[in-house]
Structure 1
Amino acid sequence: MQDFLQQTLSGSAPRKRKGETDFLCWQWLDHGILLMEPKEKARRALVLSAGIHGNETAPVEMVNRLLLPLLRGEKPLQQRLLVILGNPVALKTGKRYLRYDINRLFGGRWQQIVDGDEAHRVLRLEQAVETFWQACETEETRWHLDLHTAIRGSYHARFGLMPYTERPWPPEFMHWLAAAGMEALVFHRAPGGTFTHFSCEHFAAASCTLELGKARPFGKNDLSQFAAAEQALAGLLYGEAVSASASQPKHYRVTQQITRQSEDFVLHMGSDTLNFTAFPQGTLLAEDSDTRYYVQQAREYVLFPNPDVALGLRAGLMLIEESEQTQALPL
C-alpha cells in the first residue's frame, strides 16, 4: 500500500493488509486506520489523527505526504504510530459530517445518539486507540495529535486546544507545540466529547487538537502555510532535528461556553467575526429565550462562534488570556 489516503477514500480494503520495509512493519486495521511499528524499540507511542471533520482536508493531505516515505522504505520511523483518518465517508463527500459531529461523541457519548454509522465509527476509533495503547511498553510516553482546520479566519492562524486535565503538561510536549508553530494554546476547564479529551482522560496521553488554518476542499490547500507543523511532525516521525521556536504561544483559558438550546437562539456576532476577537466586559454576546450571555471579565475573546449548530451544541467559547489576568487559573 503506497497511498493511505487514496486507499481510504476508495472505501475498499487493500489487497495486501500487512507489509514491512527495512525500518518498520505496517498493518491496515480498518478504513482510515493504519498501524506502523518501528523495528527498533521506540520510547513513544503516537496517535496521529486527521479528517475527523470531512471538510478539513489540509491536515489529511499533510499526514499522507508524511506517510509516503515511510511506506516506501525511504525514512525510518522513530515512534510506534497509529494513524487515523477519522471520518472517511465525510471526507469522500467533502462535508464536515453527515448527521452528527463525531468530535462531540467520544468518551461513550456516541451511545446517546440514534444508532448509526457515525456512532459505530466513534466506537471503532475508541477501540483502536485503546488496543494501541494497551500494547505500550511501560516506559513509553503517549501523545495524541489531532489535526484540524477552522471554519472561520483567526487572529491566530495556528492554535492548539488542550483538553481538561489536572495533570501537568510534559515540557517536551509543550516545546514541540511551540516548534510546530502554534501561536496560541487554549486550555479547557471542563471535560468534553472530543477525540483528544478521550485520549487524555482515559489513557493519560498528552493530547492536543491542532487548528492549522482554514477549511478548504481537497486540492485547494496551500500546504506551505503549514510548513512549521509539517517539519515538526517530520522530526517526530523520522527522528530529524526540529528547530526550536523563537516565540512561545499565548495561553488562553475557557471562561464560559455559549450553547444553543432552542430555535430562538441569536448570536450577536457577524459572520465575519474572527476567532480570538476581543469583547469588553458587559457586551451582550447571545440570547436564547430567557437566557443571556454577557462578557463577564474585563475582556474576553471568542472562539468558534457559530449560530447554526444543532440544538444542545456549543455555539461559541469565550476565553481569557492568562497574561491579562492578575492570577492565572490552575491547570
Structure 2
Amino acid sequence: MTSSAESSMPALLDDFLAYTLAGSRPAPDDAQGVCANDVRWQWLDDGVLQLEPAAVSNPPEGASLTGVRSVLASAGVHGDETAPIELLSLLVRDIALGRAALTCRLLVILGNVEAMRGGCRYIDDDLNRLFSGRHAQVPHSQEAPRAAALENAALRFFADVAAGPRSRGTRWHVDMHTAIRASAFEQFALLPHTDAPLSRDMFEWLGEARIAAVLLHTTKGNTYSHFTAEACGAEACTLELGKVRPFGQNDLARFAGADHGLRRLLAGTHAAAQPSLPRVFTVIGQITKQSDAFELLVAADVPNFTPFEQGTLLARDGEYRYTVSHPEERIVFPNPTVKPGLRAGLLVVETTGETLAALA
C-alpha cells in the first residue's frame, strides 16, 4: 500500500534517476521544498540536488554551525557505471521519506547525464579526466561544459557559510564508480594525492564501508575527487564498486557495505564493530599510450590488481617499453583503447604496513 508521504512526494525525489534521465526540469516554484524530518531540498541543475536538515538550513538564533559536515556524493561521472547511480537515487528517496537519517549538508550529483542517457561511458571525452581546469583544453568537447558546471557546483557547496571553517573532517566527497573489468578486490578506493597527511577517519570509514583495498596516487590528477580534495579541501575518495552493467541489471545487495557506510556518514553514526582497515597499494608507475601502435601485453580480461614479477614486459609502443622493475607490481585499470597520450594502466606495489602506521 502506498503511504500518504509517498503519494505526495515530488517526482524528482521519488525517483531522482528517472527524473534526470527524462530531462525533466522543475518549474521555479517547484524547485525546492521540505520533506520528511523537515529536511529541506533544492534542485540546482540537471542531476544536482542539495538536501539539508532543518538544524542546518534554518538554525536556532545564536546557534553555531562551526564543524557541521558537508558531504558531496556523486556517481555517473562515467555514464555507464550504473550501480552507484541507482544507489544514490534510492538514497534520495529514503531521505525524502524519512527512512534514512540526514544530520549534515548533502549535495547529490549525477555526473555525465548525457552519457547516462546514451548508455555510454562518455560522449567525446572521459569526463573524469577533465577536472582541475583541464576542460579548457577541449573547448569543443560535449563533456567540457559539464566538467566546468560540476567544478562550480562543488565550489559553491563547500564555500557555503554553513559549512564552517575548512577544518579536517567537515568536508567530504565520495565519488562512486564501477570498474570496466573484474578485480582481485571487487570493491576498492582511490585516494587523490594532496600535500595533506592521510586521514585515519577516511581509512576507518572505508573499512566500515567494507572497501577491501585502497590505491594511493602519488601525483596530482584531473579526476573529480582530485579536484575537490585540492580546490575544496575535502576528504575525497573514488570508490570502485564492481563491474559496469546496464540500468536495472545490478545486484545492489553486493554494494550494501558502501551504501550503509555512506548512510552512516550522513547520519553521523558508526558501525557497531571496529572495522578492519583496507589493504593499501601505492602507485609507482604508469603505462602511457603514445600512439595507435600501442600494445598492452596482458590478457584482455586480466583483473585489476593482477601481480606481475620483476622483468615482465607489459607494454610497448615504438621504442617505448614498460617493464616491471620491482619484485612484484600489480596492474590496475589496464585499457589499451584509450586515446594516445592517456593512461593505459597503473602499476602499484603494496604498502599496507607503513601507510597504516603513519595515519594521522
TM-score (norm 2): 0.87
Q: Check 1:329–1:296 CA distance in 2 against 1; reply closer, same or farther (3 A cut).
A: farther
User: Which runs of structure 2 are paired with 1:232-251 in the superposition (5 Å)?
Assistant: 232-244=261-273, 246-251=275-280
Aligned partner of 1:30 in structure 2 is: 45
Where 1:70 maps in the other structure, the secondary structure is helix
Aligned counterparts of 2:172 and 2:205: Cα–Cα separation in 1: 11
Question: What is the distance in 1 between the residues matched to 2:99 and 2:116?
Answer: 28
Name the counterpart of 1:59: 84
Question: Matches of 1:74 and 1:268 in 2, distance apart?
Answer: 49
The structural deviation recorded for 1:241 is 4.2
**Which residue of structure 2 lines up, in the alignment, with residue 137 of structure 1?**
164
Give 1:9-88 correspondences, 5 Å limit.
9-15=21-27, 16-21=30-35, 22-41=37-56, 43-88=68-113
Instruction: Identify the residue that residue 179 of structure 1 maps to in structure 2.
Output: 208
Is 1:23–1:77's contact at 8 Å kept on the other side of the alignment? no
> Do the aligned residues in 1 keep the contact of 2:39 with 2:52 (CA within 8 Å)?
yes
In the superposition, relative to structure 1, how do residues 116 and 308 fare at CA in structure 2: closer, same or farther (>3 Å)? closer
Q: Which amino acid aligns with 2:247?
A: F
Aligned match of 1:231: 260
Paired AA for residue 148 in structure 2: L
TM-score between both structures, scaled by the size of structure 1: 0.95
Deviating more after overlay: 39-48 vs 199-208: 39-48
Uncovered stretches (5+) of structure 2, i.e. residues with no partner: 1-9, 57-64
Q: How do residues 290-305 of structure 1 correspond to structure 2 at under 5 angstroms?
A: 290-305=319-334
Alignment partners' CA distance in 2, 1:290 and 1:170: 41
Shift in Å, 1:67: 1.2
Instruction: Output the CA distance in 2 between the equivalents of 1:170 and 1:252.
Output: 16
Task: Give structure 1 stretches of 5+ with no counterpart.
Answer: none
Q: Does the 8 Å contact 2:125/2:141 carry over to 1?
A: no
SS state at 2:143 partner = helix
Paired residues for 1:109-258 under 5 Å: 109-135=134-160, 136-138=163-165, 141-244=170-273, 246-258=275-287
Cα deviation, residue 23, structure 1: 2.7
SS at match of 1:40: helix
Supply the RMSD in Å over aligned alpha carbons.
Answer: 2.0
Distance in 2 between residues matched to 1:244 and 1:192, nearest whole Å? 35
Amino acid in the other structure paired with 2:164: E
Contact 2:50 2:107 in 1 (8 A): yes
Moved more, 163-172 or 283-292: 163-172
Residue deviations 1:278-329 (CA, integer Å, cap 9, x gap): 0011110100111100101111000000111111111000001015889x99
Q: Is the 8 A contact 1:8 1:88 kept in 2?
A: yes
Q: Is the 8 A contact 1:23 1:75 kept in 2?
A: no
Alignment-mate amino acid for residue 318 of structure 1: L
1:7 is the counterpart of 2:32: no
Q: Which amino acid aligns with 2:20?
A: T
Residue type matched to 2:46 in 1?
H
Residues 1:253 and 1:241: Cα distance change in structure 2 (over 3 Å): closer
The Cα offsets for residues 154-208 of structure 1, whole Å up to 9 and x where unpaired, read as 0001100000012112322211111101100000000111000001111111100
Secondary structure of the 1:242 match is: coil
Aligned identity (percent) is 45
How far, CA to CA, are the matches of 1:187 and 1:145 in structure 2? 15
Pick closer, same or farther for the CA change 1:330–1:280 going to 2, 3 Å.
farther
Contact 1:45 1:80 in 2 (8 A): yes
